[in-house]
Amino acid sequence: MTRMKDKVVVVTGAAHGLGRATALRLAAEGAKLVLGDIEGEALARTTADVVALDCVAQTVVGDLTEESVAGQLIDAAISAFGQIDGLVNNLGGSRNARIWEMSVEDWDYTLRLNLRGTFLCTRFAAPHMMARRQGRIVCLSSGSREGTPWTALSTGGAAYSVSKAGVHGFIRDVAIELADYNITVNAVAPGPIDTDRVGPGLRKLEETMTLGPMTVTPLGRLGLPEEVANAILFLLSDEASYISGHTLAVSGGR
């Protein structure tokens, strides 16, 4: 288990769900981690669990859609380890509402959450990677980049879909900008994943809808957080050296 031995990886939104699963997977592969999240107590639990795997980890607690906090996260990586090999822009989420009921505040909140932290952390990490002419950036898009039938039918996910389509566009442009520096930029687009916070809502939709998330997924089940973490690990690893500007679906088929 040494695919990430001594590689320094920054993971945003590492307290829960896919960020936490990614941190644990990377720790098991020998990475040194810099973890950021807005929830301090839950982040401390993730950190204790990665340290138990013999991983060296630094943490920054705060709102990573704020420029100063995103800057602190990248600075923490450089101060502690002197380099950044990988950045996982994982933090994200949604305030859903049908379009005729959605407030401007919720629309802005969702776009900010999914796009601003990704922009800021990439903006601050890129010069450090460019100086060493190496680096891997992986961003969390979603199957929702093409619309999400169950969400649209029940609670309205237009803002979320827009923001995750935005992540797909972001990685395609930034991959070209950073190609000269040997830095790859990709996205992972999960389907319905059984995380601690999203899983229960997906199950409820499955019970109440004819075309619920499991029914419309060819593999017929929710994905596991570890299955998404495995895809992120691959895109961060040496094995993915000739892949850039790609959004990899981890969605149980299409």
Ligand X SMILES: NC(=O)c1ccc[n+]([C@@H]2O[C@H](COP(=O)([O-])OP(=O)(O)OC[C@H]3O[C@@H](n4cnc5c(N)ncnc54)[C@H](O)[C@@H]3O)[C@@H](O)[C@H]2O)c1
In the complex, the residues that contact ligand X under the rule CB under 6 A are: 13, 15-19, 37-39, 63-65, 90-93, 113, 140, 142, 190, 192-193, 195, 197-198
Nearer to ligand X, 134 or 194 (CB): 194
Q: How far is the CB of 64 from ligand X (least distance, A)?
A: 4
Nearer to ligand X, 33 or 64 (CB): 64
Nearest to 229 by CA among 20, 2, 8, 5: 20
Apex CA 19: angle with CA 102 and CA 121, to 5°?
75
Q: How far is the CB of 181 from ligand X (least distance, A)?
A: 25
Expressed in angstroms, the distance from the first to the final Cα of the chain is 31
User: What residue type is assigned to position 74 of the chain?
Assistant: I
Per the residue annotation, which of 109, 160, 181, 242 is the catalytic one? 160
Query: Catalytic annotation on 242?
Result: no
C-beta separation of 24 from 17 below 8 A: no
Q: Name beta bridge partners: 184.
A: 136
C-beta separation of 54 from 33 below 8 A: no
Q: How far is the CB of 9 from ligand X (least distance, A)?
A: 16
Nearer to ligand X, 113 or 236 (CB): 113
The residues annotated as belonging to the active site are 160
